[in-house]
């Protein structure tokens, strides 16, 4: 398929976030400016009427409706296969695009041939900066830092730097809530790795960009508001396990899968789960978090304590069957 020069294909994979998706589409209409663009929504088997609502309210948006949830990576790949743009913007449905963001990311890619991907500044709803880039890729040391809550301290220093940034910087990998890249580059890498059902797809993509001689950038001038984890908020019991499973799979794939590494990774995950169980229990007892928020988190981390020992089996079974790595209770 020949790309249309300058056209940005905005791709949104949706799962049961109808109202947020509609808000996102309105923000694109209001703030895309004079950037030539098309919007493709891939609906991952939603049961809330998302696909019909988009067709009714945004007739110019192309909707691809799947009968089942095939995962974030596969959904993006299916939509990208239909895209005509020179650039692909992968956007979460729980985002609000601010004025100038799309144009600034496109302009950056047009003027930087070695840039394989760029992400802009993400804000929380209260205006604070959200973590949207990492300098290092996940490894066992990263897992240990996260288990001991050291990642929070490191991120605070990164936030301080991000606030002060007035120019783009090279980073390791980006959050997939807002990521733009040239479509030719995306296709040369064969898109997202569909063996990831949810989480780490963008990490894997950025890793392969670097391995193939491209660079990944964070652009502080463009702004997108990201509500965060809206489609998975009510499934914390499952997402806690899925996040760790995907991270574990990424680490084992991009390094030795020797027994000691697998053991160390699992120990780090267990330490993190125990620490967070204690933290959420304290929050609940001190009434700093409501019961309906605390209990799903507690159940999720408790389940993780048992699930981690089955990670290798789940990964091997998924790879053997050709299906994505997905935790199923």
Under 8 Å CB-to-CB from 219, ≥6 apart: which residues?
Answer: 104, 105, 108, 118, 119, 120, 121, 168
The angle at the Cα of 152, spanning 142 to 196, to the nearest 5 degrees, equals 50
Residue-level pLDDT at 162: 59
Helix axes 140-147, 236-253, angle to 10 degrees: 150
Q: What is the dihedral of CA 8, 71, 246, 156, to 10 degrees?
A: 40
Q: What integer is the mean pLDDT of 290-304?
A: 90
What is the C-alpha to C-alpha distance for residues 282 and 278, in angstroms, rounded to an integer? 6
Q: Average pLDDT over the chain, rounded to whole?
A: 93
206, two tokens = 């950025």
* Across 168-185, average pLDDT: 97
**Helices (DSSP H) in the chain: which residue ranges?**
18-31, 50-57, 72-80, 101-111, 140-147, 150-164, 183-188, 201-211, 236-253, 259-285, 291-307, 311-321
140/217 Cα distance (integer angstroms): 24
Per this entry, what is the length of the chain?
Answer: 329
Strand ranges (E), 26-153: 37-44, 62-66, 85-91, 95-97, 115-123, 133-134
Q: How confident is the model at residue 319 (pLDDT cuts 50, 70, 90)?
A: very high
Mean pLDDT calculated for residue range 288-311: 91
Rounded Cα distance between 78 and 73, Å, is 9
Average pLDDT over residues 123-145: 92
Give the per-residue pLDDT at 229.
61
Is pLDDT larger for residue 297 or for residue 66?
A: 66
Q: Is the pLDDT of residue 139 over 60?
A: yes
């Amino acid at each position: 398929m020949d790309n249309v020069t300058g056209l940005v294909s905005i791709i949104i994979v949706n799962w049961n976030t109808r109202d947020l998706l509609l808000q996102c589409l309105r923000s694109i209409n209001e703030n895309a400016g004079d950037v030539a663009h098309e919007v493709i929504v891939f609906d991952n088997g939603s049961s809330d009427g998302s696909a019909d609502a988009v067709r009714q309210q945004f007739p110019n948006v192309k909707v691809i409706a799947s009968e089942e949830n095939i995962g974030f990576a596969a959904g993006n790949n299916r939509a990208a296969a239909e895209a005509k743009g020179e650039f692909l913007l992968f956007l979460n449905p729980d985002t609000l695009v601010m004025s100038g963001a799309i144009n600034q990311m496109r302009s950056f890619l047009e003027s930087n041939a070695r840039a394989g991907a760029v992400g802009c500044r993400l804000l929380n709803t209260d205006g604070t900066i959200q973590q949207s880039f990492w300098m290092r890729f996940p490894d066992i040391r990263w897992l240990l830092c996260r288990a001991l809550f050291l990642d929070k301290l490191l991120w605070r220093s990164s936030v301080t730097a991000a606030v002060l940034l007035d120019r783009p910087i090279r980073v390791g990998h980006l959050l997939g809530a807002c990521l733009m890249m040239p479509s030719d580059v995306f296709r040369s890498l064969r898109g997202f790795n569909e063996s990831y059902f949810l989480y780490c797809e963008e990490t894997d993509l950025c890793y392969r960009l670097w391995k193939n001689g491209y660079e990944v950038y964070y652009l502080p001038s463009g702004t997108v508001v990201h509500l965060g984890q809206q489609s998975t908020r009510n499934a914390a019991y499952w997402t806690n396990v899925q996040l760790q499973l995907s991270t574990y799979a990424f680490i084992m794939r991009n390094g030795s899968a020797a027994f000691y590494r697998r053991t160390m990774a699992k120990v780090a995950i267990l330490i993190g789960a125990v620490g967070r169980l204690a933290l959420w229990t304290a929050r609940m007892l001190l009434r700093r978090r409501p019961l309906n928020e605390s209990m799903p988190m507690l159940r999720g981390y408790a389940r993780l304590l048992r699930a981690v020992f089955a990670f290798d089996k789940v990964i091997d079974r998924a790879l053997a069957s050709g299906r994505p790595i997905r935790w199923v209770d």
